[in-house]
Structure 1
Amino acid sequence: MRVLQKYFALEIGRSVLFVLIAFLALFAFFDLVGELKSVGQGGYTLQKALLYVALELPGYVYELMPIAALIGTIWALSQFAARSEFTIMRASSMSTGLAGLMLVKIGIVFVVITFAFGEFVVPHTSNLAQRTKMLGKGQSLSSEFRSGLWTKDVIRSDGMTGETIGSRFLNVGAAQANGQLQGLKIYEFNNNFHLVSLITAAKAEYQGANRWLLHDGSEAKFSDTSMDQPNKTSDLTDAIATERFSSRTLISEMTPEILSVGFTDPEQMSAIDLVSYTNYLSENNRETARYEIAFWKKVFYPFAVFVMMALALPFAYLHFRSGGVSLKIFTGIMIGVSFQLINSLFSHLGLLNTWPAFATAILPSALFMLAAVGALMWVERR
């Protein structure tokens, strides 16, 4: 049985690798064609376009691995059936359960690869790809927003520790790809939601340890007692104290990583980053459903490889005369595309209907696994 396991692994691994490379080449070609129209804008050269396309490839590896596992397994098993090898294996006491177990052992390798790409490779390469594109074109990350980027923060009595004494709303005019912020407006409120300070700064640079260095700015402080019921213009004047500064430090929970999330697809974030950002949103009383769904999808998506390989197993029971290999491959492609569409559809439905994030993420895989079990029962009865 060890020889048979090795034979299965070799044939399926070779087929999956071939399918994956073919898909990557196809998507890389389309991406490059799409980038060619931007070549020549600013400093965006053909070399940078090629680098951008290359950095996007790990994301496609993550997304396409279940489909490649499905099509590659269908191809290998269909070849077994066409050469009557699978029939001989079954006659030699190989049960459906044993065949499924061998596929599970092979699938573990693909699951680990998918998880590693999704958690450790894609978040970094996707971020580098966007920065390469923006720096090449000389664009800022938030240039597409009319009012800039808005984010919310809390003010604590002792920098990053201590009790919460207020809240802070930050408006960033432009976030450069190098991490520098430009055109800042910072509104600080106390716990009664009274405006106590308005800070403006021409730019800000991150110093690490939750510290930002603000440059060329001013701060207007508002007195609570004088601003309660102002009756005269002089009261308003006395209530506001303004001072200018060339540089000052701002301690904030906001970091470049948190800001970059505003421009990053949650599907491209790691599970650790999703947990961190979800906690940040929760602490600031902001909606977290989208990121919770993305987190659970990140957890379950690698295991979709098992589901796809289970769907491929019934094809081994269909003899060559029941349909050509090309028809089986086409069917596999349609199944894979359907899985991706339904997976995406459930994410939107779960977000719109406030379904539990766990259920939203696992339902597509569960439905396709039920379909795989049903297909196996059907082919065995035949």
Structure 2
Amino acid sequence: MRVLDRYVSREVTAAVAFALVAFLALFAFFDLIGELPQVGRGGYELQHAFLYVAMGLPGYVYDLMPIAALIGTIYALAQLAARSEFTIMRASGLSTGRAGWMLAKVGIVFVLFTFLFGEVIAPASSEMGERLKLQAQGSTVSKEFRTGLWTKDVIRQDGVDGEPIGSRFLNVADVTPDGQLQGVKMYEFDRDFHLTAVVTADRADYRNNNTWRLANVTETVFPHNATDVTAVVTTRKLNARDLVSEITPDILSVLFADPDRMSAYGLATYTRHLAENKQTTERYEIAFWKKLFYPLAVLVMMALALPFAYLHFRAGGVSLKIFIGIMIGVSFQLLNSLFSHLGLLNTWPPLATAVLPSATFLLVAIAALLWVQKH
């Protein structure tokens, strides 16, 4: 059986790799066509467009892996069936459960491969690609916001781990591709939402450990007791000042990133930040659970491919099976995207929203396997 396992694994892996490369080439071509109108703007040249498209490919690997696994597995099993090899395997005692376990062992490798790209490679490459494009075009991240970037922060007594003593609203005119903030304005409030200070700075550079270095600072402090007529508003100017904040470059980058391109760790961090600031988190919670469960869709798709080895068509053979597989893969992607939007609109539990599409197709796969066993 080990020889049979290696043979089937090799056939399935080769077919899945071929399907994945074919999809990547197709999507890369369309992306490159979409980038060509922007070539020549600023310093954005053709080589930058090629690099930008290449850096987006890891994200497509993550998105397309379940479909590639489905089509590649269908093709490999259909070829085995067309050459009567699968029939000989069944005659030699290969049960449906044993065939499913052979595919599952290959599928586990694909799941780990998909998780690696979704959690590590794709988020980093997507961020590098966006940074490369912005630097080449000479633009900034927050260019499309008319009033700049707005975000909310919690002011704590001792760094970022102390007791909350107020809140801070941060406005940034521009965020450069290297993470520098330009045109910074901060409005600080106490627990009762009384304005306590207004701080402006020309720029802010991140110094690690949740610390920003503000340059050319103007700080206006308001009295805590607004009814005290003797209290005065004080203003001072500083060349530099450190600001301890929960806001980090990673959190700021989330505001411009597609949640589906973020890592699970980044989504969890930003969701926690939103929850602490009493902001809605549903969109990022759904993306977080999808990030955890989406790689398992590879196993579901391979389970859906197994019944095709038992089906015999009089005409059309392999091509008909592949066409059906493509339709199933497209349906899965559409249902997965549809449930994300429906869950957000109807405030469904994020975990259920992320799991339901895969669970639905898993039930279909089980039903199909039971049907082919009976017939």
| 2:86 corresponding residue in structure 1 | 86
Deviation at 1:217, TM superposition (A): 2.8
Give the AA of the match of 2:82.
A
Report the identity percentage.
63
| 2:332 corresponding residue in structure 1 | 339
Aligned counterpart in structure 1 of residue 298 of structure 2, from 297, 305, 322: 305
| 2:49 corresponding residue in structure 1 | 49
Q: Which deviates more from structure 2 when the two are superposed, residues 37-46 or residues 317-326? A: 317-326
Q: RMSD of the alignment, in Å?
A: 1.3
Give the AA of the match of 2:84.
S
| 1:118-267 pair list within 5 angstroms | 118-225=118-225, 227-228=226-227, 239-267=232-260
Aligned counterpart in structure 1 of residue 275 of structure 2, from 277, 282, 302: 282
Q: In structure 2, list runs of 5 or more residues that go unmatched.
A: none
Aligned counterpart in structure 1 of residue 317 of structure 2, from 305, 318, 324: 324
Deviation at 1:229, TM superposition (A): 8.0
Give the AA of the match of 2:189.
F
Q: In structure 1, list runs of 5 or more residues that go unmatched.
A: none
CA contact (8 A) 1:82 1:320 kept: no
Partners of 1:352 and 1:104 lie apart in 2 by 35
Partners of 1:340 and 1:150 lie apart in 2 by 33
CA contact (8 A) 1:78 1:320 kept: no
CA contact (8 A) 1:205 1:212 kept: yes
| 2:352 corresponding residue in structure 1 | 359
Give the AA of the match of 1:199.
V
Give the AA of the match of 1:115.
F
CA contact (8 A) 1:59 1:122 kept: yes
Partners of 1:323 and 1:380 lie apart in 2 by 23
Give the AA of the match of 1:105.
K
Q: Could you report, residue by residue, the CA deviation over 1:39-65 in whole angstroms, capped at 9, with x for unpaired residues?
A: 111111111111111110111111111
Give the AA of the match of 2:245.
S
Partners of 1:39 and 1:216 lie apart in 2 by 37
Q: Which deviates more from structure 2 when the two are superposed, residues 171-180 or residues 323-332? A: 323-332
| 2:286 corresponding residue in structure 1 | 293
Partners of 1:108 and 1:250 lie apart in 2 by 46
Partners of 1:242 and 1:348 lie apart in 2 by 48
Partners of 1:120 and 1:99 lie apart in 2 by 32
SS in 2 for 1:346: helix
Deviation at 1:322, TM superposition (A): 5.8
CA contact (8 A) 1:81 1:320 kept: no
CA contact (8 A) 1:66 1:308 kept: yes
Partners of 1:160 and 1:300 lie apart in 2 by 32
Q: Which deviates more from structure 2 when the two are superposed, residues 16-25 or residues 264-273? A: 264-273
Deviation at 1:319, TM superposition (A): 1.6
Give the AA of the match of 1:329.
I
What is the TM-score when the length of structure 2 is the normalising length?
Answer: 0.97
| 1:95 corresponding residue in structure 2 | 95
Partners of 2:98 and 2:252 lie apart in 1 by 50
| 1:268 corresponding residue in structure 2 | 261
Give the AA of the match of 2:253.
S
Partners of 1:112 and 1:323 lie apart in 2 by 34
Partners of 1:358 and 1:228 lie apart in 2 by 50
Aligned counterpart in structure 2 of residue 372 of structure 1, from 355, 365, 368: 365
Partners of 1:87 and 1:43 lie apart in 2 by 60
Deviation at 1:147, TM superposition (A): 1.6
SS in 1 for 2:207: strand
Give the AA of the match of 1:174.
D
Deviation at 1:320, TM superposition (A): 4.1
Partners of 2:77 and 2:274 lie apart in 1 by 47
Give the AA of the match of 2:202.
A
The number of equivalent residue pairs is 375
* Poorly superposed stretches of 4+, deviation over 3 Å: none
